[in-house]
Amino acid sequence: MRWSQALIPTHKEDPSDAETVSHRLMLRAGLIRKVTSGVYNYLPLGWRVVRRVEAIVREEMDATGGQEILMPVLSPAELWMESGRWRVYGKELWRTQDRNGRNFALGPTHEEVVTDIARNEVRSYRELPFCLYQIQTKFRDETRPRFGVVRAREFIMKDAYSFHRDETSLEDTYRQMHAAYSRVFDRCALTYRPVEAATGAIGGSVSHEFMVLSDTGESEVIVCGCGYAATNERAEGTVPPAGGDDQGEQAMRAVDTPDSRTIEEVAAFLGVAPTRIVKTMVYDADGRAVAVLIRGDRDVNEAKLALVLGADVVVPAAPDVIERVTGAPVGFAGPVGLSGVETVADESVRGMRNVVVGGNRKDVHLVNANAGRDFPAPQFRDLALVRKGDRCARCGAELDSFRGIEVGQIFKLGTKYSSSMKATFLDEDGVAKPLVMGCYGLGVSRTTAAIVEQHHDRDGIAWPSSVAPYAVHLLVINPRDAGPREAADSLYEALRGRGIEVLYDDRDESPGAKFKDADLVGMPLRVTVGDRGIKRGVVETRIRKTGEKGELPRDSAAEAVAAMLPKLP
Ligand SMILES: [Zn+2]
Q: Tell me how far apart the alpha carbons of residues 289 and 326 are, in angstroms, rounded to a whole number.
A: 11
Distance in Å, CA 172 to ligand 1 centroid: 27
The answer for residues whose C-beta is within 8 angstroms of residue 131's C-beta and 6 or more apart is 64, 65, 66, 67, 160, 161, 162, 163, 173
Distance in Å, CA 404 to ligand 1 centroid: 20
Read off the pLDDT band of 202 (50, 70, 90): confident
Distance in Å, CA 311 to ligand 1 centroid: 29
Distance in Å, CA 213 to ligand 1 centroid: 20
Distance in Å, CA 133 to ligand 1 centroid: 36
Distance in Å, CA 199 to ligand 1 centroid: 22
Distance in Å, CA 230 to ligand 1 centroid: 11
- Over 70: is that where the pLDDT of 16 sits? yes
Distance in Å, CA 346 to ligand 1 centroid: 21
Q: Tell me how far apart the alpha carbons of residues 452 and 25 are, in angstroms, rounded to a whole number.
A: 8
Distance in Å, CA 440 to ligand 1 centroid: 27
Distance in Å, CA 227 to ligand 1 centroid: 7
Distance in Å, CA 223 to ligand 1 centroid: 8
User: Using one digit for the tens of pLDDT, what is the confidence trace for 341-355?
Assistant: 999 999 999 989 999
Distance in Å, CA 344 to ligand 1 centroid: 27
The DSSP line for 489-537 is HHHHHHHHHTT--EEEE--S--HHHHHHHHHHHT-SEEEEE-HHHHHHT
pLDDT at residue 125, rounded to an integer: 98
Mean pLDDT calculated for residue range 66-75 = 98
Task: Assign residue 271 a region (left: φ > 0; alpha: ψ between -120 and 50; beta: otherwise).
Answer: left
Distance in Å, CA 316 to ligand 1 centroid: 31
- Over 80: is that where the pLDDT of 536 sits? yes
Distance in Å, CA 498 to ligand 1 centroid: 53
Distance in Å, CA 398 to ligand 1 centroid: 8
Distance in Å, CA 16 to ligand 1 centroid: 42
Distance in Å, CA 396 to ligand 1 centroid: 6
Distance in Å, CA 189 to ligand 1 centroid: 28
The Cα-based distances of 129 to 126, 179, 205, 330, 427 in angstroms read 8, 18, 19, 52, 12
**Of 259, 553, 195, whose CA–CA distance to 402 is shortest?**
195
Distance in Å, CA 10 to ligand 1 centroid: 47
Distance in Å, CA 259 to ligand 1 centroid: 42
Q: CA-based angle 438:442:446, to the nearest 5? A: 160
Distance in Å, CA 406 to ligand 1 centroid: 22
pLDDT at residue 245, rounded to an integer: 67
- Minimum mean pLDDT among 103-112, 247-256, 454-463: which range? 247-256
Torsion of Cα atoms, 420 then 425 then 426 then 429, to 10°? -70
- Over 90: is that where the pLDDT of 90 sits? no
Distance in Å, CA 224 to ligand 1 centroid: 5
Mean pLDDT calculated for residue range 450-469 = 98
Q: Tell me how far apart the alpha carbons of residues 405 and 171 are, in angstroms, rounded to a whole number.
A: 26
- Over 80: is that where the pLDDT of 513 sits? yes
Mean pLDDT calculated for residue range 388-393 = 94
Distance in Å, CA 395 to ligand 1 centroid: 4
Distance in Å, CA 229 to ligand 1 centroid: 9
Distance in Å, CA 394 to ligand 1 centroid: 5
- Over 90: is that where the pLDDT of 507 sits? yes
Distance in Å, CA 171 to ligand 1 centroid: 25
pLDDT at residue 326, rounded to an integer: 93
Distance in Å, CA 397 to ligand 1 centroid: 5
Q: Tell me how far apart the alpha carbons of residues 518 and 457 are, in angstroms, rounded to a whole number.
A: 13
Give me the half-sphere count of Cα atoms (radius 13 Å) on the Cβ side of residue 36.
Answer: 4
User: Using one digit for the tens of pLDDT, what is the confidence trace for 290-343?
Assistant: 999 999 999 999 989 998 999 988 999 999 999 999 999 999 999 999 988 999
Single-letter amino acid, residue 168 = T
Distance in Å, CA 237 to ligand 1 centroid: 9
Distance in Å, CA 139 to ligand 1 centroid: 37
Mean pLDDT calculated for residue range 475-479 = 97
Q: Tell me how far apart the alpha carbons of residues 213 and 466 are, in angstroms, rounded to a whole number.
A: 19
- Minimum mean pLDDT among 2-16, 78-92, 239-253, 387-401: which range? 239-253
**Of 387, 401, 383, whose CA–CA distance to 295 is shortest?**
383
- Over 90: is that where the pLDDT of 233 sits? no
Distance in Å, CA 235 to ligand 1 centroid: 11
Distance in Å, CA 65 to ligand 1 centroid: 36
Distance in Å, CA 467 to ligand 1 centroid: 36
- Over 80: is that where the pLDDT of 244 sits? no
- Over 80: is that where the pLDDT of 203 sits? no
Q: Which residues of 199-247 form beta strands (DSSP E)?
A: 206-213, 219-223, 229-231, 237-238
